[in-house]
Amino acid sequence: MATQTSKLSAQLAERDERLHRLALDKAKLHQRNGVLTKQAGVATQLAAASKLAGERAAEHARVHMERERVLDEQARALRLQLDETAMLLDAARKRCAEGAAVRGEMDERVRVATARAEDAVAQLTARSAALEATAQALRDAQADLSAARAQLEQRERLGDGGAAAKQVEELRFLLLCSSCRKRFKSHCLARCMHVFCKDCIDDMYTSRQRKCPSCGLGFGQQDIRQVYL
């Protein structure tokens, strides 16, 4: 009996011990469960946070991709503008080169035209000088002519006119009958060829003074001849 009791006591003690250990284990398990629960909560929170972070990252990635797309579009548009600008620049360079060529040609034409104009001006100046010299010579000649005319008029007025009148007088004297000095000579005496007026010869013939008044040579009716001047 005692043995059984001690066995039972031992068994009881052992059971109590096991119960105690079980209780301890349970407490540990409970504690561990709490920890695990906490850890699970933390994990859940972490997962939620991670999910949120993932969503945010996805949003960021989406925004980033959108930005990249926009930037690509802008870059493409800019490349197009750049190509267009390059083409325009090329065309402008070509036009510039053409303009430079045309300007060079125009410059050459202007140079040639200027040279011709300068030649023309030089020729014109030379001709003008020659013309001026000719005009001066003409003016000199006209002045000489005027002076000569003035001299001539003066001579005619003063000296030469008098000489001419004198000459006229001398010729008139030669033409006048040397006997009467009134009428012009019109008849000659054929023997001596002296000339008198008809009236004087008739008077001499009528008055029988039939001798030449100049040389005294006698004459007859047949010697009286008319002269024609």
Contact residues: Zn ion, CB under 5 A: 177, 179-180, 192, 194, 197, 200, 212, 214-215
CB of 185 to Zn ion, least distance (A): 8
- Residue 218 near residue 182, CB atoms below 8 Å: no
Q: Are 213 and 191 in contact (CB under 8 A)?
A: no
Considering the complex, what minimum distance in angstroms separates the CB of residue 194 from Zn ion?
3
> Residue 216: left (phi > 0), alpha (psi -120 to 50), or beta?
left
Alpha-carbon distances, residue 171 vs 27, 167, 185, 193, 195 (angstroms): 196, 6, 12, 19, 15
Q: Which is nearer to Zn ion, 94 or 172 (CB)?
A: 172
Residue with Cβ nearer Zn ion (192 or 205)? 192
Residue number, 200 or 224, with CB nearest to Zn ion: 200
Q: Is 208 left (phi over 0), alpha (psi -120 to 50) or beta?
A: left
Nearest distance from C-beta of residue 223 to Zn ion, angstroms: 10
Which residue, 40 or 191, has its beta carbon nearer to Zn ion? 191
In angstroms, give the least distance from the CB of 204 to Zn ion. 9
Angle, helix 160-175 to helix 2-157, in steps of 10 degrees: 30
